[in-house]
C-alpha cells in the first residue's frame, strides 16, 4: 500500500473504497483495474452483462477471493484483503447470494437466530441462551419479512421468493454497516419484486447497500446511483437515466 493512499480524502470519507483491483483465474482476467467508492449511508446499484465481474467483485469485498493487486479498504482504515470471510462479516459487511442460500434444515426462526448480531465464538454459542431482547429482535425481523407465521417451518420448505426474503431478513439480523445484495429480485413475481424494492429502500435508510441486479425496472424503482461494470472494470457511473443513455453501455448490453 502506498503512502498516498493513506491521505486520500476520497478514502478517509468512504465506507468502502476499491482502487485498481485486479484478479484473474487461470489466465482469465475477471476483474481488471476496478475502482469504486461507496459513501456511508449510500445505496448503490451495480449492473452489467453476464461475466462483467459483479459476483467476483462481491467475492473480493467479502474476502472469498483475494485480489492479485489493488486496494480494498473498509471504513477508511481497514484493509479487507488481509481478512477472511468471518472477520469481514464481523466488521459489518453482510452478503446476500445470487442463489438464495438459507439453512434448509433449520427453522426460519433459527435461521434468523444464527444471523443475529452476537458473539460468534465457539464457547459463546455452546452456552448461548436467547435473551428477551434477542427474541424481540427476531420477532421484529420476522415481522418485517412477513414470515412471522411460518417461524417454525423448515427453511427448505419455503418458496423461492420467501427464501430471498428470509435471506434479506438474515442480513437485517446481522445489522451490518454495508449490505451486498446479489440479484434480490431474481425469480420473483412482479408483486414480490415491488415489495422487495420497498423493503430495500427501507433498509437503506440506516445501512449502506450495494445492489447487483439485472432487472432495470427494479433498479428504476430503487432510484439510486448506478455503476455499470463491463469486462471487470467500471464502464459508466451515474443516475440510471444518464447511464442508460450512454452509448457504450447500450452497445455492451445489446451486443452491437
Partner 1 sequence: MITRFLIQGMDKRGLVFLALLAGLALLVPLSNLLLPPGSFLHVPTSTMSLWGKYLCYALLAISLDLVWGYCGILSLGHGAFFALGGYAMGMYLMRQIGSRGVYGNPILPDFMVFLNWGELPWYWYGFSSFPFAMLMVLLVPGLLAFVFGWFAFRSRVTGVYLSIITQALTYALLLAFFRNDMGFGGNNGLTDFKDILGFNVQAQTTRAALFAMTCVMLIASFLIARGIVDSKLGKVVIAIRDAESRTRFLGYRVDRFKLFVFTVSACMAGVAGALYVPQVGIINPSEFAPANSIETVIWVAIGGRGTLVGAALGAVVVNYAKTVFTSGFMAPYWLFALGALFVFVTLFMPKGILGTAQDWWGKRRKPEPATPVAEPAAAE
Partner 2 sequence: MISIARLLRQLVVLTALLISPLAAFAQGADDAFTRLGADSYSDTARAVEMLVTSAHPQAAAIIEALGDGRLLAGGGAVIVKTRDGKLIDAKTGQPVATEPAGLSAVRLNNNVRRVVQAALGGLGLLNPDAGKRIAAAEAVFKSRDVTVLPVLEAAIAKESDAKAKAALRQAQAAILIVKTDAPPFDRLAAVDVLRERGDQEALATLRSLPGDASPALKDAQGRAIAAIEGNLALWRAGQNLWYGLSLGSVLLLAAIGLAITFGVMGVINMAHGEMVMLGAYTTFVVQELIRTSAPGLFDYSLMIAIPAAFLVAGAVGIAIERGVIRFLYGRPLETLLATWGISLILQQAVRTGFGPTNREVGAPNFMSGAFEIGGLAITWNRLWIIVFAGLVFAALLAILKLTPMGLQMRAVTQNRRMASAMGIRTGRIDALTFGLGSGVAGLAGVALSQIDNVSPNLGQSYIIDSFMVVVFGGVGNLWGTLVGAMTLGVANKFLEPYAGAVLGKIALLVFIILFIQKRPRGLFALKGRAVEA
Which residues in this chain contact partner 2 in the complex, by CB under 8 A? 25-26, 28, 30, 55-56, 59
Give the shortest CB-30-to-partner 2 separation in angstroms.
Answer: 8
What residues from 84 to 113 belong to the interface with partner 1 (CB under 8 A)? 84-86, 89-90, 94-95, 97, 101-107, 110, 113
Count CB atoms within 10 A of the CB of residue 19. Answer: 17
- Cβ 94 to partner 1, closest distance in Å? 8
CB nearer partner 1, residue 122 or residue 132: 122
Q: Which does 26 bind (CB under 5 to 8 A by kind): partner 2, partner 1, none?
A: partner 2
State the Cα angle at 9 between 223 and 31, rounded to 5°: 60
List binders of partner 1 among 128-147 (CB under 8 A). 128, 130
The beta strands (E) that lie in the chain are given as 16-25, 28-38, 43-47, 69-74, 78-79, 93-96, 178-182, 208-212, 225-230, 233-239
Q: Which residues between 165 and 204 bind partner 1 (CB under 8 A)?
A: 170, 174
179 binds, among partner 2, partner 1, none (CB under 5 to 8 A by kind): none
Among 55, 56, 62, 164, binds partner 1 (CB under 8 A): 62
**Residues 166, 109 contacting (CB under 8 angstroms):** no
Query: Nearer to partner 2 by C-beta: 209 or 212?
Result: 212
Contact status, residue 176 vs residue 15, Cβ threshold 8 Å: no
Tell me which of partner 1, partner 2, none is bound by residue 25, counting a contact when its beta carbon lies within the kind-specific cut-off of 5 to 8 angstroms: partner 2
Q: What are the two backbone dihedrals, phi and then psi, of residue 157, each rounded to the nearest 5 degrees?
A: -90, 0
Residue 65 beta carbon to partner 2: minimum distance, rounded to whole angstroms: 8
- How far apart are CB 59 and partner 2 at their closest, in Å? 8
99 or 146: whose CB is closer to partner 1?
Answer: 99
**Closest by alpha carbon to 60, among 25, 10, 102?**
25
Distances (CA, A) of 39 to 13, 16, 36, 213, 226: 7, 7, 10, 20, 14
Rg for the chain (alpha carbons), in Å? 19
Q: How far is the CB of 86 from partner 1 (least distance, A)?
A: 5
Find, among 111, 104, 117, the residue nearest to 174 by Cα.
Answer: 117
Q: Which does 55 bind (CB under 5 to 8 A by kind): partner 2, partner 1, none?
A: partner 2
The one of partner 2, partner 1, none whose footprint includes residue 253, by CB under 5 to 8 A per kind, is: none
- b/e string for 141-180 if b means 16 or more Cβ within 10 A? bbebbebeebeeebbeebeebbbbbbbbbbbbbbebbbbb
Could you list the residues that contact partner 1 (CB under 8 A)? 62, 64, 84-86, 89-90, 94-95, 97, 101-107, 110, 113-115, 120-122, 125-128, 130, 154, 170, 174
Amino acid at each position: 500500500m502506498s503512502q498516498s493512499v493513506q491521505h486520500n480524502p476520497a478514502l478517509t470519507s468512504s465506507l468502502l473504497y476499491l482502487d485498481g483491483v485486479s484478479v484473474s483465474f487461470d489466465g482469465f482476467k475477471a476483474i481488471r483495474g476496478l475502482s469504486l467508492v461507496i459513501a456511508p449511508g449510500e445505496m448503490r446499484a451495480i449492473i452489467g452483462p453476464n461475466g462483467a465481474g459483479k459476483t467476483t467483485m462481491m467475492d473480493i469485498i467479502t474476502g472469498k477471493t483475494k485480489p492479485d493487486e489493488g486496494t480494498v479498504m473498509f471504513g477508511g482504515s481497514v484493509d479487507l484483503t488481509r481478512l477472511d470471510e468471518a472477520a469481514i462479516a464481523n466488521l459489518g459487511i453482510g452478503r446476500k447470494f445470487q442463489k438464495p442460500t438459507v439453512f434448509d434444515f433449520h427453522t426460519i426462526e433459527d435461521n434468523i437466530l444464527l444471523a443475529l448480531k452476537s458473539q460468534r465464538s465457539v464457547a459463546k454459542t455452546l452456552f448461548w441462551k436467547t435473551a428477551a431482547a434477542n427474541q424481540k429482535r427476531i420477532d421484529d425481523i420476522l415481522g418485517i419479512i412477513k414470515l412471522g407465521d411460518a417461524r417454525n417451518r423448515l427453511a427448505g420448505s419455503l418458496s423461492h421468493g420467501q427464501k430471498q426474503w428470509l435471506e434479506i431478513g438474515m442480513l437485517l439480523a446481522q445489522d451490518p454497516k454495508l449490505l451486498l445484495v446479489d440479484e434480490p429480485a431474481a425469480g420473483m413475481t412482479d408483486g414480490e419484486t415491488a415489495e422487495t424494492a420497498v423493503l430495500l429502500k427501507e433498509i437503506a435508510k440506516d445501512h449502506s447497500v450495494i445492489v447487483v441486479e439485472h432487472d432495470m425496472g427494479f433498479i428504476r424503482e430503487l432510484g439510486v446511483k448506478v455503476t455499470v461494470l463491463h469486462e471487470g472494470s467500471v464502464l459508466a457511473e451515474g443516475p440510471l437515466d444518464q447511464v442508460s443513455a450512454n452509448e457504450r453501455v447500450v452497445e455492451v448490453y445489446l451486443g452491437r
